[in-house]
Amino acid sequence: MKGIAPAVGRDEGKRQPVRRIDFLRSLLYVLGVGLTGIRPVSAEPMTCATCRQPITGRYVQFGRKVYHPNHLLCAACGEPLDPRQFMEHQGQPYHPKCYAESFAERCAICHKPIMGRYIKKDGHSYHEECYRNKLAEKCAVCGGGLVGKFFIDPWGNKYHAAHQSQCPNCEYCGRVISPATTGGGYTYGDGRSICMLCYKTQISGNAKARPLVEEVRAKLAEWGIEVPASAAPVNLVDRGTLRNLLRRTGHPGGPNVNGFTSVLTEKQGNHIVKREMGVYVLYGMPKELFMGTLAHELIHVWINLNNGRKLDYAFEEGSCNYFKYLMHTHSDGDLAAYAVKSMQQDPDPAYGAGFRRAKRYVDSKGLPNLITLLQRSTNFPLGY
């Protein structure tokens, strides 16, 4: 513990009249409280506790004893102490260094005394630097020891909080983007950040997209959903275009929606005489997420072809997301597994909670019954 500096005063060598204030000061002296600049009233001259010689000038006081200024000595090394800076232990004064060597806790790594801030873990104490360099987990971005606040991305990469403003997280897998964690990354013109792991399979042009569109249609057909190729062309767009489409149609989709199905109808009375649909999917998504998003949007197309009524929002979006879930569960990729986990934890009342309601229905009644429900109803039945 740090000591309180001893009092520094001056003995003027004269007897002073006994007054009330002198009595209080004398009482404080007897109690061992240091004084500054005032000589206690005493019948005997003040004597240095070290050399036993009278004190006629300046003095320092430690506890109940007084000393010549250079006679207050360290209890460990015997050298004079600076009365303004010392450590006290069990009533004895010490140089800070001597105190540390004799009494301070020692670092479990370098075994040197610990003064100031330190880290305590599993019953051992460490200098911050020793712990950071030898024991602490390493930052996935810079390799330095993780001490203090840090973040963890969905893949378990731990990194210093300082990197949060320097290294974005991948739009699609959530990894912190850096040369060490993802081999770097790329930023699209619409502001999306994608890591190089996801960028390797990104779908940006019709040449890459066309065979995947047919693959998704074929997979939906296996599950009982036939979506004719002529029903709605698939278009790859940037985020700005997608947001404009959402805004024009009043769609409540959030800022990170990856796809949209546009439906324009012309009616005569209650009969639809003309229907135009188009599917819009963000360019640059990794293959697995592109296919999941496309499956979701093609279910919207199928619903419009097979059920002309307006469906409950959570019922429609949740059911569409169920087919996205099916697409991901039929993929062995890590990114698909990450997407499934994200869907299961999504707090959104339609895309998240609606999906989980659709899954409970299928788990209970089977997929064919969900397909029939989407043809004939507008909402989940009671209990789901």
SS3 330: coil
> Is 105 buried (19+), middle (13-18) or exposed (0-12) by CB count in 10 A?
middle
Own/partner contacts of 10-13, CB < 8 Å, gap of 24 or more, are: 10/37, 10/39, 10/57, 10/58, 10/59, 11/39, 11/45, 11/46, 11/55, 11/56, 11/57, 11/58, 11/59, 12/39, 13/56
pLDDT at 37: 42
Q: What is the pLDDT of residues 317-331, one digit of tens each?
A: 999 999 999 999 999
- Could you tell me the two tokens for 243? 């947001």
Question: Which residues does 35 contact at the CB level (< 8 Å), separation at least 6?
Answer: 7, 9, 25, 28, 29, 61
- What are the distances in angstroms from CA 253 to CA 123, 129, 220, 294, 350? 52, 48, 24, 16, 10
Q: In the predicted model, what is the mean pLDDT of the chain? A: 85
Beta bridge partners of 287: none
pLDDT at 116: 74
- CA nearest neighbour of 324 among 225, 245, 243: 225
176: left (phi over 0), alpha (psi -120 to 50) or beta: beta
Q: What is the pLDDT of residues 256-311, one digit of tens each?
A: 689 999 988 777 777 766 788 999 999 999 999 999 999 999 999 999 999 978 99
The half-sphere exposure of 332 on its side-chain side, counting CA atoms within 13 A, is 0
Q: What is the pLDDT of residues 140-168, one digit of tens each?
A: 999 888 877 899 999 999 999 999 999 99
CATH 2.10.110.10 residue window(s) in the chain: 7-103
- Could you tell me the two tokens for 380? 């989940």
pLDDT at 163: 94
pLDDT at 30: 38
DSSP 134: I
Q: Which fold has domain 7-103?
A: Cysteine Rich Protein (2.10.110)
Q: What is the pLDDT of residues 12-51, one digit of tens each?
A: 333 333 333 333 343 333 333 333 344 554 546 789 999 9
353: left (phi over 0), alpha (psi -120 to 50) or beta: alpha
Q: Other CB atoms closer than 10 Å to residue 82's CB: what's the count? A: 11
**Rounded distance, CA 52 to CA 73, Å?**
14
- Could you tell me the two tokens for 337? 């597994």
Q: What is the pLDDT of residues 206-248, one digit of tens each?
A: 889 999 999 999 999 999 999 999 999 999 999 999 998 888 8
pTM over 0.75: no
pLDDT at 14: 35
Beta bridge partners of 121: 124
